[in-house]
Amino acid sequence: MLLTPSALTPQLRRAGYFIALATIFIQLAEVFLRSWPFRFLSPAWRIGFVSSISSIAPTVLLMAFVLIAIAIFAGDRRLSLVFSGLAILAATCFLAMSGALVLDTIQMRNQVRVSVSRQYDITSLWTLIRVVTCLAGFVMLAVAGLRNSIATRPVARPTKKVGTLIGGNAPTPAPRLGDSAGVKGV
């Protein structure tokens, strides 16, 4: 049985959603498993955690772009809104992480040996650049997805004609092509 492009599209869309979501889940799971046990009160642990998140963030951002693009092109308004909402949540998390990273980096700066302080500063700055870049990417992605979702109207589902409730009110036929616009019967 040969599949036509219109029959293949839903299968490809489902595969795209699955691959993108699985990639995001695997990336996040690896960071959380590597960061276990969580030590939220330790600034060194928080710096390492933000650094790990910022290293996978471009992949997660790309997969979020794929999810929103598939939803927009497929006309899935609800999924586009959901994925845009998740992008807003990610942007909020990156905003919080950027602030926490700056404060933790300043707090830990006094504990770094002088011989590696330059490397510490460069690495901290690079991590902050990655976090801010992903923050900007998630904001742009969320705005684009929301604008598209708002601009597109929900598609009306075709309904079955059951009949009219009031008898004798049959709809009048529309003029056909080729009919003259003048008065008939004159």
Over the stretch 16-26, which tens digit does the pLDDT of each residue have?
Answer: 999 999 999 99
Prediction pTM value: 0.74
Residue 174 domain flag: no
Identify the pLDDT of residue 163. Answer: 55
Q: Is 174 helix (H, G, I), strand (E, B) or coil?
A: coil
| Region for residue 157 given its phi and psi (left: phi exceeds 0; alpha: psi -120 to 50; beta: otherwise) | beta
Residue 105 domain flag: yes
Residue 54 domain flag: yes
Walk along the chain (186 residues) and give the pLDDT tens digit of each residue: 555 556 658 888 999 999 999 999 999 999 999 999 998 889 889 999 999 999 999 999 999 999 999 998 888 889 999 999 999 999 999 999 999 999 999 998 888 888 888 999 999 999 999 999 999 999 999 999 999 988 876 655 566 665 555 555 556 666 666 666 655 555
Identify the pLDDT of residue 76. Answer: 87
Residue 183 domain flag: no
Residues of the chain by 3-state class (helix, strand, coil), percent to 5: 70, 0, 30
Identify the pLDDT of residue 10. Answer: 84
- 123 CB-contact burial (10 Å; exposed 0-12 / middle 13-18 / buried 19+): middle
Identify the pLDDT of residue 149. Answer: 85
Identify the pLDDT of residue 26. Answer: 97
Residue 162 domain flag: no
Per the structure, the complete domain to which residue 42 belongs is given by 8-151
Residue 87 domain flag: yes
Nearest to 132 by CA among 78, 176, 93: 93
pLDDT tens digits for range 92-126: 999 999 999 999 999 988 888 888 889 999 999 99
Q: Which residues, 6+ apart, have CB-to-CB distance to 149 below 8 Å? A: 72, 77, 80, 81, 84
Report the number of secondary-structure helices (H) and strands (E) in the chain: 4, 0
Residue 63 domain flag: yes
Q: Token match 């586009």: residue?
A: 80
Half-sphere exposure of 150 (CA within 13 A, CB side): 8
Structural domains counted in the chain: 1
Omega cis (within 30) before 43: no
DSSP letter for 177, please: T
